[in-house]
Chain A
Amino acid sequence: MTAPQLVFGWGNACRGDDALGPVLIERLRALALPGVECLDDYQLQPEHALDLVGREHVLFVDASLTCATPFEVSPLRPGRDASFSSHAMSPAALLQAYLDVHGSAPPPATLLAIRGERFGLGEPMSEAAQRHLQAALSWAQGFLR
């Protein structure tokens, strides 16, 4: 049975605030919210379009260098862009991949961008990012209920 809501976060836990996406997923998963499936990966990849099948809504979560503090929420639409290095596919491009591969519109999607500060190898998550994470988590819980 496919959960109607998917939360998908990505990032590298070894690189400071880049862990914001996966850590938020970990916290949400521990809450076991009904009707919500939590997935994470190092990066978005084309085959993740298959994870969107059968969903009523998808929430994407990533660290951001440029969003407002502590986090920013925005609706997503399918869109072609040039961001798709095999290590850096954008969520809008993933929605477009869904559209093109399946021939039908992807489920509605929202981007939760959490402000990060430092991304060095082996660095712990910054104190600021931890505050941003907590605020984003509270918002996400309300959004997903």
Chain B
Amino acid sequence: MTDTLETAARPGGLRRVAIDPVSRVEGHGKVTLLLDDENRVQQVRLHIVEFRGFEKFIEGRPYWEVPVMVQRLCGICPVSHHLAASKAMDRVIGAFPVPPSAGAIRRLMHYGQVLQSHALHFFHLSSPDLLFGFDSDAHRRNVFGVIEAHPDVAKKGVLLRKFGQEVIRVTAGKRVHGTGSIPGGMNRHVAAADRDALRRDVAQVIAWSEDAVAIARQLHAANRELYDAFGSFRSKMLSLVRPDGALELYDGVLRARDEDGTILLDGAADQGYRGLIEEEVRPWTYMKFPHLRALGREAGWYRVGPLARVQNCDFIDTPRAESARREFVAWGGGSPVHATLAYHWARMIEALHCAEVIERLLDDPAILAGELTSHGTRTGHGVGLIEAPRGTLIHDYDVGEDDLVTRCNLIVSTTHNNQAMNEAVRQVARQYLDGREITEGLLNRIEVAIRAYDPCLSCATHALGRMPLDVTLVDAGGAVLDQVLKSADGSLVRG
């Protein structure tokens, strides 16, 4: 039962601790802890401001604009939206499948995107928590602490991300606001000179990615008790897989496993996702709660992203990543790994896989020449489903005869993980906050749990002049009892 701590039985007389926004996660989120007089956690809710309004923003636009426009949904993974919208529009105009050259270039772009996003997350967002532990000084628990203690790791992180960005540039046309993928295919090949430049670096990128997997594995081995228990809970898992069961990030069929690893559904076509997944609205948050329709809201929620993907698949078709996957699976001793912090390890296995796939695709002559677009009979409806860095991403559109989008539904990875992130926060609250003084270190554990999911909370604005963290104590009736500001240097100031 996941709602144990979602709604307190007697909210009256409880104190509320609000953490807003959660620092170092993308966009803005707020964690609300409803406490009783002894600081026992009675209620926990994770509030996330996500893509509110974007679907309406898209409706009424010409379909061919959409793959470019949706890149503005997220500054970290614009390519995932670019490609998911393109895949949906392929279906809308009946141009499916796209030619092999277009498919190969899109795949190259996507794996470059996942590699750079995973590198950013591990080396510059979460590794400070993992390398220094959760009680380390707040000033060191950040990327610069990592740089000081592990300068080569930080540099590798920058260069891995730079390589991924370069893959995106040579496939999408520009390093930002790319236009390479269009409804029905691609509008450009990869230039031979660009391919050759990437080839020169890819072996080094694979080696660095292997190093990253080793770091993640060593962290788990060194702190097994902590890593296995922190924010851990059992859940179902959902992802794309290739029809033969291989790990797949660009295009495949849906598979879900239950808490014990037994397959619940398999081989499901992406175009029929609405028959499989239901989105539930709850009154206390703008973010929906997707779940498997057949199992209902109580039993049907699931996790997506690296932890799900690495365990949902039967194998990985690149040798180094497959070896790493086997070690990961062995860690579970025959049962699925449910530890929240295992996301980081799984994420690095995927980064290694992406580097290997990029190397393979750079040797594929289809990226340099061949038909780039398909044509067919227009259907007016299409779903684009892709495995974005954070998990399964769904774009779903209806387009009228006048070429304008009449309906848009987006389910982003973070929405799929909504219930799971709430559950992770509850587990951490149970483990570390119940009955204790609320310190910055304890509050940071909640942030660590959220960051493991790499949530994308929408690119709201990031203008200069905003405080990174605002902690407010209010009572159940909404009156503010206390306020703590977490300043830009990480220190806490009580209001």
Contact = CB atoms under 8 A, between A and B. Distances in A.
A16 B463 CA distance: 11
A64 to B, nearest CB: 4
A12 B461 contact: yes
Interface residues of B, number: 52
Given A66-B465, A100-B144, A87 B459 contact: yes
B468 A85 contact: yes
Nearest to B175: A41
B53 interface: yes
Contact of B162 (A12, A47, A111): A47
A63 B461 CA distance: 9
Interface residues of A, number: 45
Contacts of A16: 461
Interface string A47-82: 101100000000000111111000000000000111
Interface string B439-463: 0000000000000000000011111
Given A41-B75, A100-B154, A85 B24 contact: yes
Interface in B460-475: 460-466, 468-469
Contact of A100 (B25, B147, B175, B459): B147
Given A46-B158, A47-B165, A100-B151, A82 B72 contact: no
A87 B26 contact: yes
Interface stretch (B317-325, B338-346, B426-434, B484-492): B484-492
Contacts of B53: 121-122
B464 A67 contact: yes
Contacts of B27: 85, 87
A80 B158 contact: no
Contacts of B161: 45-47
Given A80-B489, A101-B155, A88 B462 contact: yes
B345 to A, nearest CB: 19
A101 B26 CA distance: 24
Contacts of A86: 24, 26, 76, 120-121, 124-125
Contacts of B120: 45-46, 86
Interface stretch (B95-103, B135-143, B207-215, B409-417): B135-143
A80 B176 CA distance: 27
Given A50-B158, A121-B54, A42 B72 contact: yes
Contacts of A41: 75, 175-176
Given A67-B464, A82-B23, A113-B464, A43 B75 contact: yes
B286 interface: no
B158 A116 contact: no
Interface string B136-175: 0011001110011001001101110110010000000001
A100 B144 CA distance: 8
Nearest to B73: A14
A101 B468 contact: no
Contacts of A121: 52-54, 57
Contacts of B162: 47, 50
A96 interface: yes
Given A66-B464, A85-B24, 5 more contacts: A18-B461, A41-B75, A82-B469, A84-B142, A101-B158
7 contacts: A14-B72, A15-B459, A42-B176, A47-B162, A82-B490, A85-B24, A90-B488
